[in-house]
């Protein structure tokens, strides 16, 4: 599979305020953690595709939605097959630029938007991992402005507290991090650490999985666990072979979040 980059992406400075439209579904802030090549970006893209498909303007909901994102690996760009035919369109309408020092302030102005912060560390490195101006306000107000957020990082030590405190769901993939790194950056870290332990053990015994478009895909997707921070529950995904009794019995499963995306309007 080949990826095509969009030419000359628009600057985020051209964003106009949009009318506020509050959907029936609650807004989400999803945090994706794991090492490279474990499925974080694939899950983000799947979520973004469902988000976009559920928000086509119609007579019931005429609101214009948009996707704004930082996408250094072009995960959310158009995808083509071997013949060059586009099999999936690009998802991002407006790109966040790495050299824009006010990117976080501009996010505060968004309405009715999906914000994607893939490889979040790149943006944070510009301020030596100090929260840029406006970042705290953006995460504090995202639900009021009808914004959903997807952000990803490799290790909890690099996660900004502004994002961690408002994350509604963690998507935990294969990751190598000590208990101290979770404890240092996360409130109620125990469930996230438990999820990480279980995923690591599953991958050690079986496989880290493949994308379904990979030629070597054999039916085993990327194993990961979704942590619902409000309900304090876990859900194991692509871990059908065996799951610890801690996950299977002691902790109730939640409905996979993406299945509820169609319920966006009354």
pLDDT in tens, the chain (266 residues): 333 344 344 444 333 444 444 444 579 999 999 998 888 988 999 999 999 888 876 655 556 789 999 999 999 998 887 788 888 889 999 999 999 999 999 999 999 999 999 999 999 898 888 888 999 999 999 999 999 999 999 988 888 888 998 999 999 999 988 888 888 888 768 888 889 999 999 888 888 777 776 666 666 788 999 999 888 888 888 887 655 555 554 344 433 433 444 343 33
What is each CA distance from 200 to 138, 173, 256, in whole angstroms? 33, 8, 21
Instruction: Look at residue 133 in the predicted model and tell me its pLDDT.
Output: 92
Distances (CA, A) of 178 to 107, 155, 175, 257: 32, 10, 10, 28
- The per-residue pLDDT for 266 is 32
Q: Is 103 exposed, middle or buried (0-12, 13-18, 19+ CB in 10 A)?
A: buried
Q: Which residues contact 191 (CB under 8 A, 6 or more apart)?
A: 227, 229, 232, 234, 251
Three-state SS string over 67-135 comes to EEEECCCCCCCCEECCCCCEEECCCCCEECCCCCCCHHHHHCCCCCEEEEECCHHHHHHCCCCCCCCCH
Q: What is the pLDDT of residue 142?
A: 95
Q: Among 175, 176, 193, which residue's Cα sits nearest to residue 184?
A: 193
Alpha helices (runs of H) in 132-224, residue ranges in sequence order: 135-141, 161-164, 179-185, 190-205
Secondary structure of residue 149 in the 3-state scheme: strand
Task: List, in order of start, the domains of the chain with CATH numbers.
Answer: 2-260 (3.40.50.300)
pLDDT at 220: 73
Distance CA(121)–CA(70), nearest Å, equals 11
pTM over 0.85: no
């Amino acid at each position: 599979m080949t990826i095509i980059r969009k030419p000359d992406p628009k600057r985020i400075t051209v964003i106009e305020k949009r009318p506020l439209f509050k959907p029936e579904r609650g807004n989400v802030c999803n945090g994706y953690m794991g090492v490279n090549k474990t499925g974080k970006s694939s899950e983000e893209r799947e979520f973004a595709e469902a988000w976009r498909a559920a928000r086509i303007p119609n007579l019931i909901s005429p609101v214009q939605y948009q996707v704004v994102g930082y996408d250094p690996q072009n995960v959310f760009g158009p995808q083509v097959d071997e013949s060059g035919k586009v099999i999936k369109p690009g998802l991002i309408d407006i790109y966040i630029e790495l050299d824009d020092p006010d990117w976080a302030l501009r996010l505060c102005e968004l309405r009715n938007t999906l914000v994607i912060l893939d490889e979040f560390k790149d943006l944070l490195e510009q301020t030596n991992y100090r929260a840029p101006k406006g970042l705290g306000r953006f995460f504090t107000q995202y639900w009021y402005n009808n914004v959903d957020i997807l952000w990803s990082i490799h290790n909890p030590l690099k996660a900004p507290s502004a994002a961690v405190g408002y994350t509604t769901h963690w998507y935990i993939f294969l990751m190598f991090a000590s208990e101290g790194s979770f404890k240092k950056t996360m409130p109620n870290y125990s469930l996230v650490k438990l999820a990480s332990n279980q995923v690591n053990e599953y991958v050690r015994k079986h496989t880290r999985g493949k994308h379904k478009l990979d030629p070597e895909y054999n039916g085993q997707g990327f194993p990961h666990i979704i942590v619902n921070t409000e309900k304090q529950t876990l859900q194991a995904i692509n871990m059908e072979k065996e799951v610890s009794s801690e996950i299977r019995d002691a902790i109730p499963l939640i409905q996979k979040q993406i299945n509820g995306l169609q319920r966006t309007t009354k």
